[in-house]
Structure 1
Amino acid sequence: MIAVLVGLIIGIWQPIQTSINSRLKVSMGSPYLASLFSFGTGTILLAIFNFSIYHTIFLFPKELFHSQPIWFWIGGTFGVIYLTSNILLFPNLGSVQTAIMPILGQIMMGLLIDNFSLFDSIHQPFTVIRALGSILVILGVTGAVALNSILTEHKLINSNPKVKGLPFWRLLGIIAGMFSAAQTAINGHVGVVVESSLKSAFLSFFVGTITLSIIVLILHPKLKVEKSVKGNPWWMWTGGLIGAFCVLGNAYIVPIVGTGLAVVIILVGVTTGSLIIDQFGILESKKNPITVVQIISLLIMILGVIMIRLY
């Protein structure tokens, strides 16, 4: 029960982190620099926590570099791939499909990881009930996030001659979601091996920071710290700190409930957090009051989670 609660909480915080990082991107003028700052601050925070507890900067025994597979070390890179793919998807698919396609990939990959024990995860066989539960989660997400605008965006996409290769972009969205689920599984496994979710979260952020540093060195984006009419709010610098706690929570719950269930629990939290942001206009966002349809959709998602959890 505690693991489920943790998953819901970090899920709720994820759209808040996304809003914060989006605001930072506007001020810095580059999504890559904004992401690098976010990953960098999260890495520093987790390094301080680790040093405070373990009193050393050498968090991983040398034996692990010889005994563990390559994927053990690249969970953070998978996270960067997911983040970068979303940046590329948005102008080609619009906000609705950019949200839905990765979710399809996350749920599909989560079930595959559980069924085949990929990344040394908990074995949870694929069943008809789990499949139906996953479908309910997808339907719930669609209703809660996209129902009001999906028809409009569909028309815009198909009537815009400049948008080409929609099957490719949709496939990329699904693959990006699969990388996200794989990162979740890897972080959980690392936490079990090193017996510390904190160390696992630090490794993920550290690798992600290195990956983004290489991307920035290659692309050379220009730093443009701009001020909006309202100025630059203090909270736009806190996305990495929130992200650090989200990854830490991921590493904690995966060994307990499995990757597939962890993914769908977090998705329920993400949807809830998104609706809260819309309802109250948090972090300079436009107010969009929650509708009855969205509440029903959220309940459908919860029913799907229960089906996956119990069966």
Structure 2
Amino acid sequence: MLAVVFGVVVGIVMPIQTSANSRLRQSVGSPFLASLVSFTVGFLALLVAVLLIDGGLPPLTAALDMPAWIWSGGVLGVVVLTGNIFLFPRLGSVQTVVLPITGQVIMGLLIDHFGLFHAPVHRLDPTRVLGALLLVAGVLGAIGFIDTLLRRGAQVSVGSSSGLSLWGWRAAGVVFGMFSAAQTAINGQLGVAFGSAVGAALVSFAFGVVTLLLINLALRNRPAAGSTVGPWWMWIGGFLGAMFVFGNAFLSPVIGTGLTVMTILLGLMAGSLLIDHFGLLGAHRRKVTLLQAVGLALMVAGVGVIRL
């Protein structure tokens, strides 16, 4: 039960990280530069944590006998982050949230059922399917998707893409979500190999920093003038991202990838609604509706069904 609560807490910090990184992006002038700064801050925070908790750097030789995919968690994290940047202007905010979440839930259940990436096996059964459906329904209610359908006659805002291109981006959204679930399982196994979840998170962030550094060098991105000007909290995204990756690496071997994904999604939606309701971190204040509250309750029920 404590693991589930910890997963929810990890999820709650994610909307705060998103707000911080969004503000950082406004300051530095580039999403890739903002991601690089965020990843670097997270890497430094994890480096300090590893030295304090483990007393030294993770033993990389412990994972040398593992398959090559064990090192791919950080790169997948960058792919997911960059993918959302491209999805938003083409699909709109609603589908950019729903489609990756759908992919996360599907992939999480598949990883558990087949024991992919050496994850603990949790066979798919009607109870787990019901829990997943409740969670997805809760997400749809929490983000206002159902309310949008009822008020606008099933018209949902999308960007400029259309036809086959639109469906291609929708499929990509699901795939990005599946990559995110795979990252959770991979970092979990890296933590098992090292005997340290925080060490696994450090290595994952190191690969992410290197990948983003290469991207920024290729694009020749430079900080905008006055890039250091902004509220202090715009720099905390990296710390919260480090907590998120550590939480995934810690929880996945304990409660399974599927339940890890779902508990973190529950926390994510709860945190998002709290930020909107109280107008925290400069967000536009939007009162939580009854339908959103019902959606959050459905998510709780979904996690509870799978857990119990």
| 1:143-158 alignment, distance < 5 Å | 143-147=141-145, 148-149=147-148, 154=155, 156-157=157-158
1:52 CA displacement: 2.6
Q: CA separation in 1, counterparts of 2:157 and 2:267? A: 29
CA distance in 1, matches of 2:207, 2:137: 34
Q: CA RMSD in A?
A: 1.8
Matching of residue 45 in structure 1 with residue 45 in structure 2: yes
Residue 75 of structure 2 corresponds to which residue in structure 1? 77
Q: Distance in 2 between matches of 1:81 and 1:137?
A: 25
Gaps of 5+ in 1: none
Q: 2:224 aligns to what SS in structure 1?
A: coil
Q: Which residue of 2 aligns with 1:240?
A: 238
| Aligned counterparts of 1:225 and 1:304: Cα–Cα separation in 2 | 47
Letter in 2 for 1:198: V
Mapped partners of 2:140, 2:31: distance in 1:
26
Among residues 116, 119, 124, which one is paired with 1:121 in the alignment?
119
Matched, 1:272 2:270: yes
The Cα offsets for residues 139-164 of structure 1, whole Å up to 9 and x where unpaired, read as 1001111334466693543xx76545
| Preserved CA contact (<8 Å) 1:106 1:177 | yes
C-alpha deviation, 1:74, in angstroms? 1.1
Measure, in 2, the Cα distance between the counterparts of 1:111 and 1:273. 24
1:86/1:98 contact within 8 Å kept = yes
The residue matched to 2:248 in structure 1 has which SS? helix
Report deviation, 1:227: 7.1
Counterpart of 1:303 in structure 2 is: 301
State the partner residue of 2:190: 190
- What is residue 262 of structure 1 aligned with on the other side? 260
Unaligned stretches of 5+ in structure 2?
none
1:128 counterpart letter in structure 2: P
Q: Does the CA contact (< 8 Å) of 2:144 and 2:291 recur in 1?
A: no
Residue 18 of structure 1 is matched in structure 2 by 18
Counterpart-to-counterpart distance in 2, 1:287 and 1:161: 27
Cα distance in 2 for residues equivalent to 1:47 and 1:156? 42
Moved over 6 A (4+): none
State TM-score, norm by structure 1.
0.93
Q: Aligned partners of 1:99, 1:254: CA distance in 2, in Å? A: 22
Partner of 2:108: 110
Deviations 1:171-199 (A, max 9, x none): 00000000000011111111112111110
Instruction: Determine if contact 1:191/1:252 at 8 Å carries over to the other structure.
Output: yes
CA distances 1:27-74 after superposition (whole Å, capped 9, x unpaired): 1110000000000110011111212334434x2242532x01111111
Q: Closer, same or farther in 2 for the Cα pair 1:162/1:255, shift >3 Å?
A: closer
Change (3 A) 1:136 1:53: closer
TM-score normalised to structure 2 length: 0.94
Question: Partner of 1:243: helix, strand, or coil?
Answer: helix
Deviation at 1:292, TM superposition (A): 1.1
Check 1:155–1:301 CA distance in 2 against 1; reply closer, same or farther (3 A cut): closer
